[in-house]
Amino acid sequence: MTTPIPARIAALRESMARHGVAACLVPTADPHLSEYLPAHWQAREWLSGFNGSAGTLLVTATDAGVWTDSRYFAQAEQQLAGSGIALMKQKVSHAPEHLNWLQQHLHHGDVVAVAGDSVSLAMQRQIERLLGGAGITLRVDQDLPATIWPERPTLPKAPVTEHALSYAGASREEKFNKLRHALRKQHATHHLISSLDDIAWLTNLRGSDVECNPVFLAHLLVETAGAATLLVDRGKLNDNLVAALAGDRIRIADYATLGDALGELGRDDALLFDPGRVVSAVLQSVKPEVKRIEGANPSTAFKAIKSKTELTHIREVMRRDGAALVRAFRRLEERLAAGMTQTELDVDTLLREERSAQPDFIGESFSTIAGYMENGALPHYRATPEAHNTLQRHGLLLIDSGGQYLGGTTDITRVLALGPTTSEQRRDATLVMKGMIALSRARFPKGASGPQLDALARAPLWAAGMDYGHGTGHGVGYFLNVHEGPQGIRPPIAGGALVPLEPGMISSIEPGLYKPARHGIRHENLAVVVEADQTEFGEFYAFETLTLCPFDRRALEPGLLNPDERAWLDDYHASVRAALSPLLEDADLAWLEKHCAPL
C-alpha cells in the first residue's frame, strides 16, 4: 500500500511555494507547549507518520527530516521508512541540530515559517538569533500545515471536574493568595499562565483533554489586585462549578478570546509571563506600552513542593499501586507457567485490570511500555496489535507503567526475568541497580541540583564503559502530569538552569542501559526529597523512596553488589513487604513474600 506521507509532504511544499517559504518547521507543540498533545495539534505526526512524543519536522523544497533524540532512533527509523523523510539524530557528535542545518542549507533572503501557536517566545528569539545573522527571516504568522490538513481533528470537549479539597489539600483561595503575593513582589499587575498543569493545580480542577494527563485546555489571566479570568470552553463546566469559581473570584471567558483579554491591558499594566512557556502568537495582542516582566510562573515552583496532605495521599496511592502490580506480575508468571500464550499487549491489559480495581483510580499516567528482549532496548517502545513480541520463558521483560489516582500519580519500571537469563543480562541489570542504589542513598547539601547528582547513577556504568542517553530523573505531578518541572536529574546542559532540589519535591530515579537488538534495562522508583542532617557544614537532604514494589532479583547478579548495596536492597524489600502485606492474601501474598526475601 502506498503511504500517504509523501503526498502530504508534497502538498506542504506546494503551500510553501505559494507563500514564498523556503523551509517549514513543524515542532511537537501546542499553544500550551505541552509534552503530550491533543490530536488537533499533532501536525508533526500527521505529516511524517512518526508518533514519538519528541521531535521536530523540517521540510524544504528538496529535503525533509525529523530530528529526534536517542529514545526514538529505532522507532523513528521504522516509521519514517519509505516516506522520503530522513531520520536526523539529535545530540549526536558531528550531526547538525535542525537550526544549524538550516543555517547551512538556506540562503540570504530565504524565509522560514513556523506556526506561532507552536513556538514559545524564547524559542522564537533563539531561532531569529541563529538565522538572522545569515539573513534568513522567520515568520510565525503562517500555519502552513493547517492549510493542507482537510480533516484536522477538532478541539477536545471532555468535561472539567473539581479536585476535591480533601485531596487537593489547599483551597483555590489559598493558592491564589500565595500567587498574588509573589506577583506583588515582582510589581506585576497581571500574570498570564498557559501551561495546563499550572492552571489545573491553581484552580483545583482536572480534565481529560490530553491522553493520560488530567488537564484541560485553558489559559489563565490573573489580576494581582482583582479577579482571575479562566479562558476555557464554557461547555466543559457545569453551572455549579462556574458558580463555585465565581465565589473564588474566577470568571469564565471563551478559550478563543485570550487575544481580546490581553489587548485590553494598557500603559499602567505590567504583565508577568514565562517566555519559555507562552507561545509567541498569544503575545501579539499585547500593546507595546504594556510593561512586560519575564520570569518563571510562580505556581510551577509552588506545585513542585508537595504538601503534607499531598504526601499522605501519595504514600497510600503507592501502597495500592504496588499491590496492583504484585497481583499483575503474579498472574503473568502463573499464565506463562501454565503454557498460556502471552504477549506484550497482555501485560498492558493485566496492569490495567489490576489498577482499575484500586480505589480512586482514574487511568494510566502514560501509555504502558512493555518491551520483551530487544524491544526493551527501545526506551519509549509501545506494543501495537500490528507489531509486538510474544513472551517466552527466558530472558528479560521491561515494564514501565503508571497510574493516575485522585491522590497522586505513579511511575514505575521493573525488569522481570521470565526464565533463564544470560550472564550479560544479569550483569547489565546489576550495574544499573548499583547506580539506582547510589542515587537513592545520596546525601546532598541544601542548594544542590539534579545535574550535580546525575553522575552518581551513571558511575557504575561508566566504569564498565557504558552509558544511557536519557535523563536519570524527572519531577512528577500530583494527580497531574507524570513529567513535571522545574527540577530534573540529568547531565548538565550548557546554559541550563540548576534548580535546587527542595524537601517535598518528587522525582523519578531511573537509570537504564540499552543494547539494540538484545535487551534493555531500566529500574525506576519515585522518591521525595526530605531533610536529613544539620552539620557544621550546613543543612543536608536525602531521598525517601515512595514506590513500593519488589525488584526481580532473578534478573540480578548479587555477587556484584557490595555489602551496603545488598543491605539497601534487603531493607527496601522489607519495607515493601511490610507496606503491601495487609493488602494481599493467598497466592499474591506468597508471591510478595518470595520476592521480598533477603538476598
CATH number at residue 74: 3.40.350.10
The last residue of a domain, from among 303, 329, 361: 303
CB 127 within 8 A of CB 114: yes
The answer to whether residue 598 is domain-embedded is no
Question: Judging by beta carbons within 10 Å of its beta carbon (0-12, 13-18, 19+), is residue 2 exposed, middle or buried?
Answer: exposed
User: Does 320 lie in the same domain as 249?
Assistant: no
User: Does 168 lie in the same domain as 252?
Assistant: yes
Q: Flag whether pLDDT at 93 surpasses 90.
A: no
User: Does 170 lie in the same domain as 183?
Assistant: yes
The answer to whether residue 558 is domain-embedded is yes
What residues form DSSP beta bridges with 507? 475, 527
The last residue of a domain, from among 236, 269, 303: 303
Supply the pLDDT for residue 581: 98
User: Does 551 lie in the same domain as 470?
Assistant: yes
User: Does 295 lie in the same domain as 319?
Assistant: no
Which segment of 75-79, 93-97, 101-105, 106-110 scores lowest on mean pLDDT?
A: 93-97
Per-residue confidence band for 463, with pLDDT thresholds at 50, 70 and 90: very high
Supply the pLDDT for residue 94: 74
User: Does 228 lie in the same domain as 351?
Assistant: no
The answer to whether residue 155 is domain-embedded is no
User: Does 344 lie in the same domain as 292?
Assistant: no
Q: Is the peptide bond before 563 cis (omega within 30 degrees of 0)?
A: no
Supply the pLDDT for residue 1: 37
Tell which residue, 231, 270, 241, 249, has the closest CA to residue 175. Answer: 249
The answer to whether residue 156 is domain-embedded is no
Q: Flag whether pLDDT at 454 surpasses 90.
A: yes
* Residue whose C-alpha cell is 489545573: 200
Per-residue confidence band for 27, with pLDDT thresholds at 50, 70 and 90: very high
User: Does 335 lie in the same domain as 442?
Assistant: yes
Supply the pLDDT for residue 418: 98
The answer to whether residue 142 is domain-embedded is yes
Supply the pLDDT for residue 3: 57
pLDDT digits (tens, 9 = 90+) for 339-380: 999 999 999 999 999 999 999 999 999 999 999 999 999 888
User: Does 58 lie in the same domain as 43?
Assistant: yes
Supply the pLDDT for residue 497: 81
The distance from CA 204 to its chain's CA centroid, rounded to whole angstroms, is: 20
Q: Compute the C-alpha angle 524/527/530, nearest 5°.
A: 160
pLDDT digits (tens, 9 = 90+) for 63-88: 999 999 888 888 899 899 999 999 99
The last residue of a domain, from among 258, 275, 303: 303
Q: Flag whether pLDDT at 422 surpasses 90.
A: yes
Could you tell me the residue range of the domain that residue 102 belongs to? 5-147
CATH number of the domain encompassing residue 408: 3.90.230.10
User: Does 373 lie in the same domain as 313?
Assistant: yes
**Tally of domains within the chain:** 3
The answer to whether residue 443 is domain-embedded is yes
User: Does 204 lie in the same domain as 331?
Assistant: no
Supply the pLDDT for residue 578: 98
Supply the pLDDT for residue 477: 98
The answer to whether residue 599 is domain-embedded is no
User: Does 29 lie in the same domain as 171?
Assistant: no
Quote the CA–CA distance of 122 and 71 in Å, as a whole number: 25
The answer to whether residue 56 is domain-embedded is yes
Quote the CA–CA distance of 414 and 523 in Å, as a whole number: 6
Per-residue confidence band for 155, with pLDDT thresholds at 50, 70 and 90: very high
Mean pLDDT of 164-170: 97
Quote the CA–CA distance of 300 and 191 in Å, as a whole number: 13
**Strands, E, within 433-592: which ranges?**
443-445, 473-475, 484-489, 506-509, 512-515, 519-522, 525-535, 538-545
